[in-house]
Amino acid sequence: MRIAIAGLGAVGKTVARKLADGLPGLTLAAIAVRDHDKALAWLKQEGITCPLASLDELPAVSDVVVECAPPALLDQIVTPMLRAGKQVMVLSASALLPRADLVDLARATGGRIIVPTGALVGFDAVSAAAQGSIETVEIVTRKPPKGLAGAPYLVENAIRIDGITAPLCVFKGNARQAAVAFPANVNVIAALSLAGIGPERTQVEVWADPTLTRNCHQIRVVADSASFSMTMENIPSENPATGRITALSVIAALRRLTSPLVIGT
């Protein structure tokens, strides 16, 4: 199965290394980036041989594209692949929330959108509970201030988090609102809402916490089948907004595509 990567940031680089090292039944087919010179220099440094391609070329050279790019590029990455009836692994789940048309396109063409677990634990439990009746889903996300820096909501509302000395709640609302407010920071929240009771009913708090060095998420679910809570503390990658486990989640999801044994729902 030919795998292409769109975007070569912290997640894209980790996935590229792993594919280059070898994953059963998978091959690194192409990488799409904006800065070709920078990408070629990195590939040479890592000893990885892989052609660069434009976004429009990806359907012809790959079976699955892993989207690791800025949310604004989601449509340019996903639409061509789905029109070709192929698969896209989407990390920018926040950008996916308002794009129900992409799901419709996948349904019409036989394509597929895969949202990996990413930085959260317990999606199996939430997805299972959603087959019955879920009463509430709440998530509290706490990040070091640099993990939220530059978010549109903070800029538009003149909320300053640089230099704070105590935890500060910077947002309360639902998952759809959070996705607009923090498009590059709360993909885990968007994914949780898709796995559970939807973005309008998934309640969210976002905190900037200068006492933390990790991105922390606490989920509470009340359903007719079970009530449970989960806590995750993710070590940031070289991109402070993204946990190291996000890239590993992508690798695990890729393995599932060809594995003879799949554990979990």
What domains does the chain contain, in order, with CATH numbers? 2-118+245-258 (3.40.50.720), 123-241 (3.30.360.10)
> Cβ neighbours of residue 240 under 8 Å, at least 6 residues apart?
144, 146, 147, 149
Please list the residues that pair with 215 across neighbouring strands: 234
Calculate the alpha carbon distances from 181 to 74, 104, 136, 145, 189 in Å: 17, 25, 22, 15, 12
Residue that is written with structure tokens 């991105």 in the block: 215
Q: What is the pLDDT, as a whole number, of residue 119?
A: 66
CB 29 within 8 A of CB 37: no
Q: What is the pLDDT, as a whole number, of residue 75?
A: 96
CA distance 76 to 97: 16
Residue ranges in the chain modelled with pLDDT below 70? 119, 240-241
Nearest to 264 by CA among 116, 135, 68, 134: 116
Q: Where are the beta strands (DSSP E) in the chain?
A: 2-6, 27-32, 64-67, 87-90, 112-114, 134-143, 168-174, 202-208, 215-223, 227-234
Q: What is the pLDDT, as a whole number, of residue 36?
A: 96
Q: What is the pLDDT, as a whole number, of residue 197?
A: 96
Neighbour-count burial of 203, counting CB atoms closer than 10 A to its CB (0-12 exposed, 13-18 middle, 19+ buried): middle
Catalytic residues: 217
Q: What is the pLDDT, as a whole number, of residue 77?
A: 97
Taking each helix axis as running N to C, give the angle between helix 10-21 and helix 36-46, from 0 to 180 degrees, rounded to the nearest 10. Answer: 40
Biggest alpha carbon–alpha carbon distance for the chain? 54
Please list the residues that pair with 31 across neighbouring strands: 5, 52
Q: What is the pLDDT, as a whole number, of residue 241?
A: 65
CA distance 208 to 100: 31
Q: What is the pLDDT, as a whole number, of residue 240?
A: 67
